[in-house]
Amino acid sequence: MEPDPEDKLQLQFLSTAEMTAWADFQDQVEAAIDAGDATVPVPTDFLALILPEVKSSPLQFEALRAVWNRVCDEQGMAHLKRETPATPADEDSSDDGPF
């Protein structure tokens, strides 16, 4: 059976060099954590690909939003706290998105 167009799109996306580098990065980090390593070597070409967004959008990461929200509370500025965006698993939808 032929995959539907969205499944085919996802497979094509996941097979790109960039997504292969992303998967390798995840594997390297998980292996280093499991081994108890203090650092993880990451190819600079991969970091160059993602670093601008990481630097400009740290609150995209739930752990850093939690730190932001904690500091907002400590400073009496709870009105500036950031909500955690809903994930497809949180929504009442059968469409879980491509990931």
Residue 96 maps to a domain: no
**Residue 37 — very low, low, confident or very high, per pLDDT cuts 50/70/90?**
very high
Residue 99 maps to a domain: no
Residue 19 maps to a domain: yes
Report CA dihedral (15, 21, 22, 27) to the nearest 10 degrees: 110
What value does the mean pLDDT take over residues 29-36?
A: 96
Instruction: Write down the mean pLDDT value for the chain.
Output: 87
Residue 49 maps to a domain: no
Q: What is the pLDDT of residue 84?
A: 78
pTM score above 0.75: no
Tokens of 5: 């167009």
Amino acid present at 81 = K
Comparison of pLDDT for 85 and 95, the residue scoring more: 85
Tokens of 65: 């939003």
Tokens of 73: 């509370």
For residue 19, give its domain range. 1-43
As a whole number of angstroms, the distance between CA 38 and CA 59 comes to: 24
What value does the mean pLDDT take over residues 10-27?
A: 93
Please give the DSSP secondary-structure letter assigned to residue 45: H
Residue 3 maps to a domain: yes
